[in-house]
A and B are shown apart, each in its own frame.
Chain A
Amino acid sequence: MRILARFPLRGLISSIPRTTESASSVSRHRRPYSTHPPNARLNIPTDFSTTPLLAHSSQSALQNPELPPDARNGTTKRMNLFQSINDALSIALAADDSVLLFGEDVAFGGVFRCSMGLADEYGGERVFNTPLSEQGILGFAIGAAAEGMKPVAEIQFADYVYPAFDQLVNEAAKFRYRDGKGGRNAGGLTVRMPCGGVGHGALYHSQSPESLFTHIPGLRVIIPRSPIQAKGLLLSAIASNDPCVFMEPKALYRAAVEQVPTAPYTLPLSKAEILKQGADLTIVSYGHPLYTCSAAIEKAEKDLGISIELIDLRTVYPWDKDCVLKSVRKTGRCLVVHESMISAGIGAEVAASIQEDKDTFLRLEAPVMRVAGWDTHMALAFERFNIPDVARVYDTIKRSVEY
């Protein structure tokens, strides 16, 4: 059944709305699938060609102070997210013979094209297909990592990582701890998995299980928001001595396009990034919803006359608590936005940490609020009512400020 579901999705990925064309001429009941309500002011699809979260020019891409000097003085290339992942994988394979890349359907390029051309370039011994077995893929990867390799294992959709959960929780995460003085570990392991809503992925092509991983000591959980971030963070994950779960928002694979530095570079793990400075409210998010937040911020700042700080966690565990607490101590208000369900999500951890920190708690002027997926499953026909949208983020900003 799953095989059938996979391939149609590849084609459908490209149907993500990229323009803000008007749908007013189409009757209400015959409105094309992906357009927005005719009178919408807030829930307008992201225009990735103008969003301030992407580097649209070579200059803005190279300005990033986190880049090493040689990357900053280098060139850039227009890439979407899957291309930048491909670029990072190629750099890692070229730089280190111990890097292996495998998973289901990886050899021909992957169902999302992330491994295009890599089997040809680096050989079938290093880039290969595995049998269709997630527990096998991760068990195999852990064993290879334990013997000094740097396996990059792909789980075709985050929704299918659960058969491998035992290997991740009980084995990868605990390998170093239980080996003790021997120091052997599965730190060479990186697990990549496409995650998040895609408009029509329904129950098993939409999930965001990051908070299940953030409850596991020993794993690093990383979610990039853009091609530049994806390249740098993936190279860091591969270089990291800890097992990393690298979650790729699949809706961004083709949609998010920006100028990406061509040189190899890494970006720091467990370090958040302040995407926009503000004084009155902090929004903490990661991955795809950052674009929603950015759009909501634009409207809210105009309507409410406030300034909002936007933070991308990037690594959701171990996360950059200092950055968030510092920001909330400044603004006094915070909301957390993510796609996965509200209860026991990343927002719960962020909110609890804020109220637990004496200095930040005393500075709060409104309760910490969460905008996230409802406590339900991702139903096909109702996805746009489940994933946080601009209206819900906007409304929560308003409620926080007016509290």
Chain B
Amino acid sequence: MNLQRCGTRILRPQSVSLRQPRIHTTQRWSSSISQRPGAAGVHFPGAVNSKFTSDLSFEHPSTYPAIPTYRAMSPDGDIISPTLTPPSDELSLSMYHNMLSVSIMDVIMFDSQRQGRLSFYLTSQGEEGTSVGSASALEKEDVIFSQYREAGMFMQRGFTFADFMSQLFSNTNDMGRGRNMPVHYGSKALNMHTISSPLATQIPQAAGAAYALKIQRLTNPNIPPRIVACYFGEGAASEGDFHAALNIAATRSCPVVFICRNNGYAISTPTLEQYRGDGIASRGIGYGIDTIRVDGNDIFAVREVTKRARELALTDGGKPVLIEAMSYRISHHSTSDDSFAYRARVEVEDWKRRDNPITRLRKYLEKKGLWDEEKEKAARARIRKDVLKAFAEAEREKKPPLRSMFEDVYAEMTPDTKKQMEELRSVIERYPDEYDVAEFEGGKDSLSK
């Protein structure tokens, strides 16, 4: 790598737009907040608006009502929020189509994992509304970080069945070059960062990315205003990274919308063993963040809330917003989990029947005369066919070249890595019967320098 060249490039004087001294708006000198005699409020630098009290009483969460859950559409598909304008028929239908597509793909892929045709899968049953609804309210340029149960978001932003299948089968068309476990999707073109398994790590990254977007717009006002949306589950919110992220997003005024999918379980752990406060939403307030709780099974409510959150995130030069979307994880955690080991089958069946984002929107569409049983049947058959077609094509494709195992560790391959790649090739050459390289594009030859 020509580091010298990189060095001179960065050292070339460029635009000076950000170089002038600025007022440091976040700076607060505690010495300037002096205590006036007889003041009713405490001017400790750590809590400038706190009033004195002579009553000794501890604040208890139970004295505060639980944060309400915003709902726009009743479980029967009737619009109940007076302020809500439902999306256009066209958009409503496409959102329905996307939810249905994900749910059908989920069943097919879950079953094919069970047949051993896929190493792993993870469905998002019951949470299609949260991911499709929120994604529908974002702009294409908005940057997304996600956890792994947001297939609907990928679908809504333009991921195709071929994109899903290429990743799931680690074939040569996989953007991740066959390196990641199934369901770890990503797309640069669609501004969705590649999913990684470690939980919650994406949350402070989302704050940093949002700060980058903010600074870039300060430098160049011609860039359209953009936000970062960041998805995670209520279990991940127990990680230290959640705390770090919300705090730094608030102190640095980052235009980021945090979207928590509270589906009641983190693998086998119910929320009662995850936290004792009022869900995740109550924490947002503690960090000084605008917060809302929404019915995740109500796709219109999720969309509306995300739309408003996006606007809010772009006001006053940028600020974070927290959305807690309530739902229920109908599926097992993943193909490696049998959830009936820790929850009753009847509970799951109940949620499936009683409240489901797909059926709720279907009821709305049917009442508007936009949908019926016949259309449903036809759509299901068509989606099923499309999924299976993409499935078959993806399965037939070769795996990425073996060489891609060694590439992209650094921007350029190190001498050691080149040597090791050569060594692997030599082993394969000397023991041809011990390795099957036929399924990899280019066979062992891709390992040549």
* Interface residue ranges, A against B (CB under 8 Å): 68, 91-98, 100, 107, 119-126, 128, 130-131, 133, 135-151, 163, 166-167, 170-171, 174, 176-185, 187, 217-218, 220, 235-236, 238-242, 264-266, 268-270, 318, 321-322
Contact = CB atoms under 8 A, between A and B. Distances in A.
B53 interface: no
19 contacts: A120-B21, A122-B19, A123-B22, A123-B24, A125-B22, A131-B248, A135-B240, A136-B204, A137-B248, A142-B204, A143-B207, A146-B193, A146-B209, A149-B215, A151-B208, A180-B404, A180-B408, A238-B10, A241-B411
Given A143-B205, A180-B408, A268-B4, 8 more contacts: A94-B19, A142-B205, A171-B201, A171-B205, A180-B174, A182-B186, A182-B194, A266-B6
Given A95-B12, A96-B14, A123 B204 contact: no
B201 A182 contact: no
Contacts of B215: 97-98, 100, 125-126, 149
Interface string B172-191: 00111101100010111000
B252 interface: yes
Contacts of B208: 139-147, 151
Contact of B408 (A91, A121, A177): A177
B205 A140 contact: yes
B34 interface: no
A166 B201 contact: yes
Contact of A68 (B4, B14, B25, B193): B4
B196 interface: yes
Nearest to B1: A241
Contact of B21 (A121, A241, A269): A121
A143 B203 CA distance: 9
A268 B3 CA distance: 6
Nearest to A170: B198
Interface string B141-184: 00101000000000000000000000000000011110110001
B4 A266 contact: yes
Contacts of A95: 10-14
B194 A178 contact: yes
A184 B248 CA distance: 23
Interface residues of B, number: 74
A174 B19 contact: no
B290 interface: no
Contacts of B218: 125
B244 A179 contact: no
A137 B177 CA distance: 29
B238 to A, nearest CB: 14
Nearest to B7: A266
Contact of B27 (A107, A178, A270, A318): A107
Contacts of A239: 3, 6-7, 9-11
A163 B240 contact: yes
B283 interface: no
Nearest to B240: A135
Contact of B244 (A121, A139, A321): A139
A143 B212 contact: yes
Contacts of B251: 130-131
A217 B409 contact: yes
A169 to B, nearest CB: 9
B64 interface: no
B18 A123 contact: yes
Contacts of B198: 166, 170-171
A68 B193 CA distance: 38
Residue of A91, A126, A135, A183 ringed by the most chain B CB atoms within 10 A: A135
B358 interface: no
B269 interface: no
Residue in A124, A143, A180 whose Cβ sees the most chain B Cβ within 10 Å = A143
A136 to B, nearest CB: 3
B50 interface: no
A127 B80 CA distance: 48
B11 A91 contact: yes
B20 interface: yes
Interface in B285-316: none
**Which of B8, B21, B205 has the most chain A CB atoms inside 10 A of its CB?**
B205
A93 B15 CA distance: 11
B248 A136 contact: yes
B247 A136 contact: yes
B241 interface: yes
A92 B203 contact: no
B267 to A, nearest CB: 19
B119 interface: no
Contacts of A131: 244, 247-248, 251
A355 B176 CA distance: 37
Nearest to A122: B19
A242 B411 contact: yes
A26 B1 CA distance: 56
B11 A180 contact: no
B431 interface: no
A126 B16 CA distance: 13
Contacts of A182: 175, 186-188, 194
B414 interface: yes
Nearest to B174: A180
B26 A124 contact: yes
B9 A321 contact: no
A123 B174 CA distance: 42
Contacts of A144: 208-209, 211-212
Contacts of B25: 124
B410 interface: yes
B206 interface: yes
A146 B207 CA distance: 11
Interface in B208-249: 208-213, 215-216, 218-219, 228, 240-241, 243-245, 247-248
B38 interface: no
A184 B196 CA distance: 13
B415 interface: yes
Nearest to B400: A180
B207 A176 contact: no
A68 B154 CA distance: 48
Contacts of A147: 143, 208-209, 212-213, 216
Contacts of A269: 3
Contacts of A148: 212, 216
A178 B212 contact: no
A318 B204 contact: no
Contacts of B241: 135-136, 139, 166-167
Contacts of A68: 4, 8
Contacts of A139: 201, 203-205, 207-208, 241, 244-245
B254 to A, nearest CB: 9
B17 interface: yes
